[in-house]
Amino acid sequence: MTGTSTAAGAGQKLTAPGRRTRDRIVATAADLMFRQGVAGTSIPDVQQAAGVSASQIYHYFGDKRGLVRAVIDHQIEASMDGQRPILDHLDSFDALRAWCDAAVEGQRRRDCEGGCEIGSLAGELVETDPVARADLVEAFDRWERPIRDGLSRMRDRGDLSPEADPHDLATMMLAALQGGLLLTQIRRSTHPLKIATDAAIAHIETFATRR
């Protein structure tokens, strides 16, 4: 992602201890920003929680904006890593259902608190920070890509009709997931996420050639 490329020290080759320190700062900031929001998380908050000096934070990230960009990159990587290996093989209806069921179960385990880490950042930043918005566009594109690739494989091998548009269907699938996550967070119930993703898969099934 473009996010960390402008941070101080990002172009430098870090030592192993330096990399561990930077990663700890990012992980700490990501946790704080998820729980408190970006606006509610200050550099001193991160400094204290991570057990580092302010100079270390400014060295690695330049300023808070650089740290926020690194957090966006961290959150999309963590989110996608948590969805693998299913995310890399979304080329069947069973795989799509398993992916959505895993998202529902993940929210159930969290008691529907917190919503989506990337969605939460987007809701706070897209109208106030054009640079962060560009990073978030890229983050969601990275998330949508494996969905689109799986649907493309389904169409290529004849599981979906030629009229199926993997780009549009992948956007719909991700939108259903994001909207469902938001309502699940608001209502403290996994039901909105379940019905939204079920409806999206049902629509994709209208293009199925093998029933």
- Pair (125, 23) in one structural domain: no
- Pair (64, 89) in one structural domain: no
Element (H, E) at 109: helix 93-109
Residue 172 lies in a domain: yes
Residue 105 lies in a domain: yes
The Cα-based distances of 65 to 27, 57, 95, 157 in angstroms read 15, 11, 37, 45
Q: Provide the CATH number for the domain around residue 63.
A: 1.10.10.60
- Pair (61, 150) in one structural domain: no
- Pair (154, 180) in one structural domain: yes
- Pair (88, 124) in one structural domain: yes
Q: Provide the CATH number for the domain around residue 116.
A: 1.10.357.10
- Pair (104, 185) in one structural domain: yes
Residue 114 lies in a domain: yes
Q: Which of 47, 71, 95 delimits the end of a domain?
A: 71
Q: How far apart are CA 195 and CA 153, in angstroms?
A: 25
- Pair (198, 139) in one structural domain: yes
Total tally of structural domains belonging to the chain: 2
Show pLDDT as tens, one digit a residue, over the chain (211 residues): 443 344 444 456 778 888 999 999 999 999 999 999 999 999 999 999 999 999 999 999 999 999 999 999 999 999 888 888 898 999 999 999 999 999 999 999 999 988 889 999 999 999 999 999 999 999 999 999 999 999 999 999 999 999 999 999 999 999 999 999 999 999 999 999 999 999 999 999 999 997 5
Q: How far apart are CA 109 and CA 98, in angstroms?
A: 16
pTM above 0.85, yes or no: no
Q: Which of 38, 71, 104 delimits the end of a domain?
A: 71
- Pair (55, 101) in one structural domain: no
Q: What residues are paired with 125 via a beta bridge?
A: none
* Count of Cβ atoms closer than 10 Å to residue 70 Cβ: 26
Residue 78 lies in a domain: no
Q: Which of 71, 97, 113 delimits the end of a domain?
A: 71
Contact 95/89 with Cβ under 8 angstroms? yes
- Pair (98, 159) in one structural domain: yes
- Pair (64, 97) in one structural domain: no
Residue 79 lies in a domain: no
Residue 76 lies in a domain: no
- Can you give the residue range of the structural domain that contains 169? 84-211
